[in-house]
Copies of this chain bind each other. A is one copy, B any other.
Amino acid sequence: MADEKPAASTRKRRGSGRATIHDVARLAQVGSITVSRYLKQPAQVSTELGARIAAAVAQLHYVPNLVAGGLASTHSRIVGMVIPNISGPIFANTIQSFSDTLSAHGYQLLLASSYFSQEQEESAVRAFLGWSPAALVVTGPFHSKATEKMLAEAQIPVVETWDYRPRRKAIQVGFSNVEVGLQQARYLLDKGYRRIAFVQNSVAGDLSALDRRDGYAQAMAQAGLKPWTFIPTEQAPFDAGRQAFEALALRKKPLEAIIFANDNLAAGALLAGQRAGIAMPDQCALMGFGDYAISPLLLPSLTTIRPPAREIGEIAALRILEALGAVPLDGKHANARLNRLTCEVIARESA
């Protein structure tokens, strides 16, 4: 009774060897399509057959073959996400909340990182498309031509996260980096700083930081001030921050305040300032972006911008689930193509 090969055909030449829907159907003495229906919409199957099927499923340890189901129905419960990196301080919360929201509704996450390279993004998108994913999530609006084409032609929901461009076709879940640059500059201008510089990221491909720089430049122009941009050559973020600080704050006529493309650069600058005995923010104010875990712990603690990382992941997942009909449409934000989130200024000691 225990395991006397219930239904598996005796000499399968191919196949996985696992129980199939036909094995279940035979054991439950129903048609296999009824098993399929029972698993998807139990309400459409009579209680009696349902019970027999459930018993057979349990006895055979039946696990539906999602690959076969995907082929037959031409759509899967896989969602692909391409993100610049997994282990950095920025995107981890987005991935986590995205994955959690998806898996709560039976969808699986296929993940790849691009390291801000459009080529890597393109190859990940191509590979993902081979799985007929239910939806695709990418980071930002900057893609290779081929990627754009693939995303446009895929007949599935596509979400662009971590930026906001109302005129693009994909669902947008993010914030305007230009707006953030304005926010940063205005915060410092309101505090009375006038000689304000912006330090870019030495990592090529981080194009969002350039938008923040543009916002900063815009705010400066509106205030009748000259923008001042510095591009570090050092690659490691702490070193790049130090380099920028030395170039901007240790000159004859030092800058009064510096905005950095991210908190790691700012942290490098802050440590350099400590060593040089510069009083911060009095002699030079520093402002970052990202609100990394280290930022509240630095001395002085780092004034920065907190992006809605977790929120981005969750909203992206909800919009996808809504578009797929996996989640009901309620609430006034339901199924919105444009999801404009905002960043928060975290005012601490450094500015």
Interface residues in chain A, defined as those with a beta carbon under 8 Å from any beta carbon in chain B: 14-17, 61, 63-68, 70-71, 74, 76, 78, 85-87, 89, 92-93, 95-96, 99-100, 103, 106, 108-113, 124, 126-132, 149-150, 153, 155, 267, 292-294, 297-299
Contacts and interface: CB of A to CB of B under 8 A. Distances in A.
A124 B102 CA distance: 12
B76 A99 contact: no
Contacts of A124: 103
A99 B86 contact: yes
The secondary-structure label for the interface of chain A is mixed
A126 B63 contact: yes
Given A87-B95, A112-B103, A124-B103, A130 B66 contact: yes
A212 B270 CA distance: 36
A126 B205 CA distance: 38
Contacts of A298: 297
A71 to B, nearest CB: 5
Contact of A299 (B70, B76, B294, B299): B299
A126 to B, nearest CB: 6
25 contacts: A14-B74, A16-B155, A66-B127, A66-B130, A67-B70, A67-B71, A67-B76, A67-B131, A86-B92, A86-B95, A86-B99, A92-B92, A99-B112, A103-B112, A103-B124, A103-B127, A106-B127, A108-B112, A108-B127, A108-B131, A109-B112, A110-B110, A110-B111, A111-B111, A299-B299
A87 to B, nearest CB: 4
How many identical chains are in the complex? 2
A252 B231 CA distance: 55
A321 to B, nearest CB: 16
B17 A155 contact: yes
A87 B76 contact: no
Max chain B C-beta neighbours (<10 A), residue from A17, A66, A67: A67
A99 B74 contact: no
A70 B70 CA distance: 10
B86 A113 contact: no
A305 B96 CA distance: 25
B112 A128 contact: no
Nearest to A100: B113
A71 B126 CA distance: 19
Kindly list the 4 A-B residue pairs having the minimum CB-CB distance in the complex, ordered from nearest: A66-B130, A87-B96, A87-B92, A67-B70
Contacts of A93: 87
Nearest to A126: B63
A294 to B, nearest CB: 5
B129 A63 contact: yes
A280 to B, nearest CB: 15
Contact of A149 (B61, B153, B297): B61
Nearest to A75: B16
A74 B16 contact: yes
A109 B78 CA distance: 11
A66 to B, nearest CB: 4
